[in-house]
Chain A
Amino acid sequence: MKFSMKSVAAAVTMAAAAVSGAALPAQAEYPEKPVTMVVPYRAGGSTETMARVLAKALTDQVGQNVIVKTMPGAGGAVGATAVSKAAADGYTILFIASSSVLWPPMTQNVDYTSSSFDFVAQISEYQQALVAKADAPYDTLEELIEYSKTNALNFADQSAMSRTYTNFIAAKEGVAWTGIPTKGGGEMVPFLLGGKVDFAYSGGIHNRYGDDMKVLVSMNSSRLASAPDAPAVSEGYGVAMPSQSMVVVPAGTPEEVIGKLEAALSLAVQDAEFTDLMENKLSFPVVFRPSAEITAAMGETEAALKTVLEATK
Chain B
Amino acid sequence: MIDQLIAGFAEALTFYNVLFITLGLVLGIVIGVIPGLGSVTAMAVLIPVTYYMSPVTAIAFLVGVNKGGTSGGAIPAVLLNSPGTAESAASALDGYPMAKRGEPERAMKFALYSSVTGDTISDMLLIVLVVPFATIALQFGPLEFASVLLFAFTLLAGISSASPVKGLIAIFFGVFLATIGLDPVDSTPRLTFDQIHLYDGLSLIAVAIGSLALSSVAAQLLDMAAKRRGGGVPHEALPPSTNRHLGAVEFFSHWKTIIRSSLFGSGVGMLPGLGVTLAAFLSYGAARKASKDPDSFGKGNPEGIIATEAANSAVVGANLVPALALGIPGNVAAALLISAFIIHGIVPGPFMMTMHGDVVYALFASMLMANFLHLIVGRLGIPVWALVTKVDQAYVLPIVVMLCVTGVYLPSQSLFDVGVMLIFAVLGLVMSRTGFSVVGMVIGFILGGLFETSLRQSLLLYKSDYSVLLESPIALAFLLLAALVILRGMWPAKRQEPVHDAQ
Contact = CB atoms under 8 A, between A and B. Distances in A.
Contacts, number: 99
A109 B194 contact: yes
Interface stretch (A54-62, A137-145, A178-186, A266-274): A178-186
Interface string B335-362: 0000000111101011100010000000
Given A44-B344, A71-B413, A187 B349 contact: yes
Contacts of A182: 457
Interface residues of B, number: 38
A181 B184 contact: yes
The listed residue with most B CB atoms (<10 A of its CB), out of A44, A180, A183, is: A44
Given A154-B461, A193-B138, A196-B142, A186 B349 contact: yes
A81 interface: yes
B143 to A, nearest CB: 9
B253 interface: no
Interface in B184-202: 184-187, 189, 194, 196-197, 199-200
B163 interface: no
Interface string A194-227: 1011000000000010000000000000000000
Contacts of B345: 44-46, 49
Given A70-B413, A208-B355, A196 B137 contact: no
Nearest to B412: A72
B461 A78 contact: no
A69 interface: yes
B296 interface: no
Contacts of A160: 186-187
Interface in A64-91: 69-75, 77-78, 81
A181 B141 contact: no
Contact residues of A: prevailing secondary structure: mixed
A4 interface: no
A49 B344 CA distance: 10
A187 B186 CA distance: 18
B291 interface: no
A71 B412 contact: yes
A82 to B, nearest CB: 9
A17 interface: no
Contacts of A77: 196, 199
A280 interface: no
Interface string B315-337: 00000000000010000000000
13 contacts: A42-B342, A42-B343, A43-B411, A70-B412, A73-B412, A74-B196, A77-B196, A152-B463, A180-B461, A181-B185, A189-B351, A196-B141, A196-B461
Interface of B: 51, 137-142, 182, 184-187, 189, 194, 196-197, 199-200, 327, 342-345, 347, 349-351, 355, 411-414, 453, 456-457, 460-461, 463
Given A44-B345, A160-B187, A194-B350, 11 more contacts: A43-B411, A44-B344, A71-B412, A71-B414, A109-B194, A186-B327, A186-B351, A187-B347, A189-B351, A194-B140, A197-B461
